[in-house]
Every structure is written in C-alpha cells, then in structure tokens.
Amino acid sequence: MSEKSFWPVNRHLRVSLEKVDNKTDSGVLLPESFNKDSDKYKKVTVMSAATDCKPAFLDLEGKEIFVEKSMIQEISVSGQRVALVLENYVIGVVS
C-alpha cells in the first residue's frame, strides 16, 4: 500500500505511531501484548486529515500532536496497519 492510497474521512486524522521498544533496560524481551506505557495520552504524527475536519486540522500534516491513546483506531489496509483518530480526541499540537 502506498502512502497516498488511504485517505481518512468523517473528521478522522491518519496518524503514525511511534515504534514501542519491547526490551527492558535489563535486556529482557517483553511480549507484544505487554504495554509498559501507562500514560493516558500519546504523541503521534499526522499523516493526513479528512477534508471535512475543522480548518485548524487541515494544515497539520507532518506535525506532532497529543491524542487520547484509547481512542486511536488501528485497521489493516492491504496488509498495512493504518492508525486513525477522530479530531475530537486531539488535545494539543507540538510546535
């Protein structure tokens, strides 16, 4: 799937998630299901925005934002993981 082959709609933002390192400081590997990140919010990078998003969200491509982590939706498109979040769950933009 190419980067441009999936466009979000219905006020969603397509975001890129940081890779989580499943290795502890002691070198022990943790299962993928283990989540050592207990924060309620997550920093993500905006890849694209639905055209019906509010104007403030339309120019965020490439910017980092904070979103409520539990509201990130991941789907599979042509074997690739795509992460989406509704604009309502954006709590801030990193400048």
Structure confidence at residue 9 (pLDDT): 96
pLDDT digits (tens, 9 = 90+) for 59-90: 999 999 999 999 999 999 988 899 999 999 99
The pLDDT of residue 94 is above 60: yes
Q: Binning pLDDT at 50, 70 and 90, where does residue 33 land?
A: low
Structure tokens at 18: 């940081």
SS3 content of the chain, % helix, strand, coil (to 5): 10, 40, 50
- List the domain boundaries for the chain: 12-20+36-94
19 versus 46: which is more confidently predicted? 46
Angle at 71 between CA 70 and CA 73, to 5 degrees: 105
The pTM assigned to this predicted structure is 0.78
Please, is 3 exposed, middle or buried when counting C-beta atoms within 10 Å of its C-beta (0-12, 13-18, 19+)? exposed
